[in-house]
Amino acid sequence: MTPPLYIALRFLAHRKRALLLSLSGVVCGVAFFICMQAQTQGFAKYFIDSTLGSNGALIIRSRFEPRQINSIVPTKTSNTNVAHRQYFEGITNANEIMRVSRQFSNVVSCSPVLRGTLSARSGFENATVELYGIDPALHLQTTDLAHQIAGGSLYDFRNRPDSVIVGSRLAETLNVEVGDTVQLLSPGAQYRRFGVAAIAKSGVGAIDSTRVYCHARVAQTLLRKPYAASLIIYKLRDPDRAPALAQHFENLFQHDAASWQEREASTLHLFLTLRLSAAITVSLVILLAGFGIFNVLTMTVLSKMKEIAILRSMGYRRRDISAIFLWQGGMIAAVGSLVGCMAGAFLSWGVSKIPIHLRGLLSTDYFVVAWDWRHYVWAILLAMISVFIASYVPARRAAQLPPVTTLRGSSV
């Protein structure tokens, strides 16, 4: 053990109460930072996983053709010919597009979907629903629908063309359960009865409150569409590369393609804002702990002026005196970060067990937390920076004390 470290330990032991207060501030700051980041990222990750499991990482929809619009009076800020797109509803060559796109290494699977908006009725309850006509085999490979079933059986749905899968919140709105019947209103103003084979819960409120799954051929007849698919959903090995693949698919297939990042941009920005806000707020606790350490070390310098002067007269250099107080701050930061990380992990685990009944943007019965090592790294880094800044000024002041003048003043 080096002499500065040994002396730093002696100085810390001399002011135990102040040491414990400073240490508790660092522990609380680190623990709260980890817990808050775990919560905010947990809900964000839960939303991303749920939306990817329901809507895929990438979708291809309407076909387009470029068209030229000639400006009668050209302006300085625009070109004479401006390229635009003319969109056509539906995908007429879905099988060919899926055959080609399956050759891309990032594509795991894809599923055609015929989507439309209908009115649903059960008893005296009515609701506007989003109908998804699917191929059950392909859709189960591409999405997490099999894991989202909260009641009923997928086997009954796959073997009964006159059955549907209803979103959990929509089932509550229509007051239906598995085995009940739902009437869907076709564009020809005729209701058609379907049995509820299963109830699905994705965890995303906008999906669970509107979506109804049925067989693709039944949907085509019900919606009276001349095409068999209005979009193609893709499951990717690396969802983070979806924007680049979407751009490539647009150029290749001449169909509009949208990645999940583009589709959910507003919600992702909301979660990012919440994470930054929580990080800034909780960082203030660590900053306040730094002020506490600054006060403790400043008082230590004032109370140990005679000892510092004696050390200087014994041959200790200024940097040795600074090292004594920097070691004190470093030990407080190290112990506080270690205990804070353990407290943060325990706090995050405890929060994940708290029951809630959240039915809004997300649907969950418990707090959702994310276990990410980067939360701990950032918490430790913030604690180290805060404590170093708080320790530097007292350490520098102690190093600047003139030994002869200090000894004279202490002997008077």
Residues 355-369: tens digit of each pLDDT: 877 777 777 778 888
Predicted local confidence at residue 76, as pLDDT: 47
pLDDT band of residue 79 (cuts 50, 70, 90) is very low
The token pair at 231 is: 């979009």
Amino acid symbol at 304: K
Range from 25-39, 90-104, 324-338, 396-410 carrying the lowest mean pLDDT: 396-410
Partner residues linked to 245 by β-bridges: none
Range from 11-15, 122-126, 153-157 carrying the lowest mean pLDDT: 11-15
Residues 81-120: tens digit of each pLDDT: 335 777 778 888 889 999 999 999 999 999 999 998 889 8
The token pair at 294 is: 């600054």
Predicted TM-score (pTM) of this structure: 0.75
Residues 253-272: tens digit of each pLDDT: 888 899 999 888 888 888 88
Kindly list the domain boundaries of the chain, sorted by start residue: 3-52+267-411, 58-259
Predicted local confidence at residue 98, as pLDDT: 92
H/E stretch holding 319 reads helix 318-352
CA 402/CA 392 separation, integer angstroms: 18
Which among 243, 219, 244, 248 has a CA at the least distance from the CA of 231? 219
Amino acid symbol at 48: I
Q: Contact 120/167 with Cβ under 8 angstroms? A: no
- Strands in 280-328 per DSSP E: none
The token pair at 353 is: 């067990």
Q: Give the three-class secondary structure for 168.
A: helix
Give residue for tokens 């929580």. 278
